[in-house]
Structure 1
Amino acid sequence: MKKIKFDSAHRKKHFAFFNGMSHPHFQLTANIVITNFYKTLKTYNKPLNNSLVYLLSKTANDIKEFRWRIRGEEVVEHPMARPSFTVPTEQADVFSFCTVDYITDYEAFLAEASRIQELMRTNPSFEDEEGMDNYLFMSAIPWVKFTGIQHAMNYHPHDSVPRISWGKIYEENTEILMPVSVQAHHALVDGRHMGMYFNNLEENALNFKL
């Protein structure tokens, strides 16, 4: 983990402007083409949900601003942001969080995600690790082709963890699409970085191979 110093006076003003807001997060939702990704998973009989977590996490980790976090008056950059995603449990009809280290190797990530997910089914967790902020909060809403989503979160104090959600997969004009929503702290992530995320996500889905 390293500290980020803004050398540009304008970048410092940009950070201070948005960081001073009571609700500094902003959000975009778009339909992403995942035709190749989806068909590849079907061909090789790979799990959909954990594969999506991998794809979404890879895209976020490849953009350094999505690994930045605000700690007091400082900005730090984590070497890796861990997906903390929702999974069903056997304890109740509400979800548990499942937090996994992001591993660049797809098969290794699937194995670790599956292992921890099984633990969460019978021993669910709802608490973040104390002092940790290198998360990517992720949630699946597979029943809805949503066009927007609003997350529950504290306004005071606000956190700087990105939130990534995905919805119902559907077919349109021979392509397979999926709504994706990304929310991030505007003092860290600007529109350019958000656009980069969506463009890279679609490219990663298009070029996904096993």
Structure 2
Amino acid sequence: MENFERRRDRFALFDAMDSAAVNICFPLALPDFRPWCKAQGLAPFHVLLCAVLRAVLKLENFRYRLLDGEVIRIDRLIPSFTVVNQHNDLNFAQFDWSDDLHEFVARGIAAREQASSMVALNMEYAARTPREAREQVFVTCIPWLAFTSIQHPSFSLAEPDIPSFAWGKFRESANGRLELPFSVQAHHGFVDGFHIHQLAQQVAAELDAMMA
């Protein structure tokens, strides 16, 4: 937590505000990983989800959380994301982490199928301990829209400590790359614009590493 202690005064500044959230939406440039996914038999959404979550774990500022009024640093993530069920209503999918990409994708697809087949809201997350609840980030994908802004819901405006991520419709960019709208919301006491820039770079680096 030495790195956090250097910015505790910044944390105190933003944490005292009615809303401590920073929310930035930007076009995220990525290598076009879709042909590689097709060759590997992997679903592109779940591969990108893995890249985003791996990037989060490598950037300490995105691992800080608030628990019982104290700042903690998580060491693992519980993957979760939103799905659409057969009635076009939102539901939540969660699954256990795997370092193996193929297993990660398989577990993610199984969780998606389970959540999308449910009519009632999946309340699995409600059974987690307060510490376990902090071992996640909120992820949603809106593949139909090239959105330019988004407002993420928050349990508490004063404590937006669990980061929220959203991405939208892919479009082809120059030099064989992809571009997609990407949104990051986090506690400004933990995360600045520079750290969001680092996250964007790390997500692209994770995809490059997967395809190497």
1:125 is aligned, of 99, 122, 125, to 122
Query: How do 1:126-141 residues align onto structure 2 when only pairs under 5 Å count?
Result: 126=123, 128-129=125-126, 130=128, 131=130, 132-141=133-142
The answer on 1:113 being equivalent to 2:108 is: yes
Letter in 2 for 1:94: D
Distance 1:192 1:156 in 2: 22
Q: Which secondary structure state, in structure 1, belongs to the residue aligned with residue 147 of structure 2?
A: coil
The two structures have a TM-score, normalised by structure 1, of: 0.86
Q: How far does the alpha carbon of each residue in 1:107-130 deviate from its partner, in whole angstroms, 9 at most, with x for none?
A: 121122122222212234156334
Q: How far does the alpha carbon of each residue in 1:60-117 deviate from its partner, in whole angstroms, 9 at most, with x for none?
A: 1111221211113311111112232011223x21111111233221112112212222
Letter in 1 for 2:48: L
The answer on 1:66 being equivalent to 2:62 is: yes
Q: Which secondary structure state, in structure 1, belongs to the residue aligned with residue 122 of structure 2?
A: coil
Q: Percent identity at matched positions? A: 25
Distance 2:48 2:101 in 1: 11
1:179 is aligned, of 181, 194, 203, to 181
Distance 2:50 2:109 in 1: 12
Alignment coverage as a number of residue pairs: 204
1:82 is matched with 78
Query: How do 1:1-210 residues align onto structure 2 when only pairs under 5 Å count?
Result: 4=1, 6-8=4-6, 11-90=7-86, 92-123=87-118, 124-126=121-123, 128-129=125-126, 130=128, 131=130, 132-156=133-157, 158-173=159-174, 174-209=176-211
Distance 2:97 2:71 in 1: 21
Once the 2 structures are TM-superposed, how far is the Cα of residue 204 of structure 1 from its aligned partner? 2.1
Moved more, 12-21 or 160-169: 12-21
The answer to whether the 8 A contact 1:36-1:205 is kept is: no
The answer to whether the 8 A contact 1:82-1:100 is kept is: yes
Distance 1:57 1:7 in 2: 24
The answer to whether the 8 A contact 2:167-2:183 is kept is: yes
Q: 1:15 to 1:133 in 2, by over 3 A?
A: same
Q: How far does the alpha carbon of each residue in 1:163-196 deviate from its partner, in whole angstroms, 9 at most, with x for none?
A: 0101001113343222211111111122332221
Distance 1:156 1:24 in 2: 7
Structure 1: give runs of 5+ residues left out of the alignment.
none
Distance 1:62 1:165 in 2: 19
Q: 1:206 to 1:158 in 2, by over 3 A?
A: same
Q: Which secondary structure state, in structure 2, belongs to the residue aligned with residue 207 of structure 1?
A: helix
Structure with the higher helix share, 1 or 2: 2
The two structures have a TM-score, normalised by structure 2, of: 0.86
Letter in 1 for 2:150: I
Structure 2: give runs of 5+ residues left out of the alignment.
none
